[in-house]
């Protein structure tokens, strides 16, 4: 499996501990930072690298960053995060539906010539059917079921996890 992550350091040469206070969300997004700390307590690990299943498009930001493409044959130590649940925990969008599922809803409704009101009802039904009552009990899962699910890899990586060389360096804005 191939996954991608953006980090403030080159994972091929960084051997220290991940300092959560220096993370992307530590100061500018306190809700996400709090949710990450809560998740780390639940999984009893805080040395984790967040990875996505699809390539990350990124632009220069406030800091230099590295976009890593990682090959994971059989994750030694990992957690799969339910993307639907996680997005509702962090309050990203109270009506968040994974893009591939939302596209499917739109496609089904377009074939029937339905309008925005019907789409809204379909979204409500999707959320009622798929969003659990207790988000924290369902934030992790045992297998990927959506492109929005994310992989947390324990750092340092085990032997079956290989960063593909070299990472893409993304300089900070000038």
Q: What is the pLDDT of residues 69-105, one digit of tens each?
A: 988 877 667 899 999 999 999 987 899 999 999 999 8
Q: Is the pLDDT of residue 58 over 60?
A: yes
Q: Exposed/middle/buried for 127, CB within 10 Å: 0-12, 13-18, 19+?
A: middle
Q: What is the pLDDT of residues 107-157, one digit of tens each?
A: 888 766 667 888 899 999 999 999 999 999 999 999 999 999 999 998 888
| pLDDT at site 156 | 86
Band the pLDDT of 50: cuts 50, 70, 90: very high
| pLDDT at site 111 | 66
Among 14-23, 28-37, 63-72, 101-110, the least confident range: 14-23
Question: Higher model confidence: residue 85 or residue 2?
Answer: 85
Return phi, psi of residue 89, to 5°: -65, -45
Among 16-30, 54-68, 106-120, the least confident range: 16-30
| pLDDT at site 26 | 57
| pLDDT at site 22 | 65
Contact 153, 51 (CB under 8 A): yes
| pLDDT at site 108 | 83
Q: Residue written as tokens 């220096």?
A: 22
Of 168, 140, 138, 146, nearest to 12 by C-alpha is 168
Whether the CA torsion 82, 139, 22, 73 is positive or negative: it is negative
Q: pTM of this prediction?
A: 0.85
| pLDDT at site 138 | 96
DSSP secondary structure, the chain, as one string: -EEEEEESS-TTT--S---GGGSTTTTT-HHHHHHHHHHHHHHT---EEEEBSSPPP----SS-EEEEEEEESS-SSEEEE-HHHHHHHTTS-TT---HHHHHHHHHHHHHTT--HHHHHHHHHHHHHHHS-S-TGGGSEESS--STT-EEEEESS--TTEEEEEEEEEEPPP-
Among 12-26, 58-72, 149-163, the least confident range: 12-26
């Amino acid at each position: 499996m191939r996954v991608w992550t953006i980090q403030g350091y080159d994972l091929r040469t960084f051997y220290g501990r991940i300092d959560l206070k220096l993370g992307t969300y530590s100061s500018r997004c306190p809700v996400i930072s709090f949710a990450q700390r809560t998740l780390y307590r639940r999984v009893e690990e805080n040395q984790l690298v967040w990875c996505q299943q699809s390539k990350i498009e990124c632009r220069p930001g406030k800091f230099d960053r590295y976009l890593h493409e990682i090959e994971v044959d059989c994750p030694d130590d990992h957690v799969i995060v339910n993307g639907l649940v996680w997005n509702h925990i962090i309050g990203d969008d109270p009506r968040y539906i994974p893009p591939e599922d939302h596209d499917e809803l739109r496609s089904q409704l377009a074939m029937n010539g339905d309008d925005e009101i019907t789409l809204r009802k379909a979204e409500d039904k999707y959320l009622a059917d798929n969003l659990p009552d207790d988000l924290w009990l369902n934030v992790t899962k045992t297998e990927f079921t959506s492109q929005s699910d994310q992989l947390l890899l324990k750092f340092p990586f085990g032997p079956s996890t290989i960063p593909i060389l070299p990472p893409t360096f993304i300089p900070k804005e000038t």
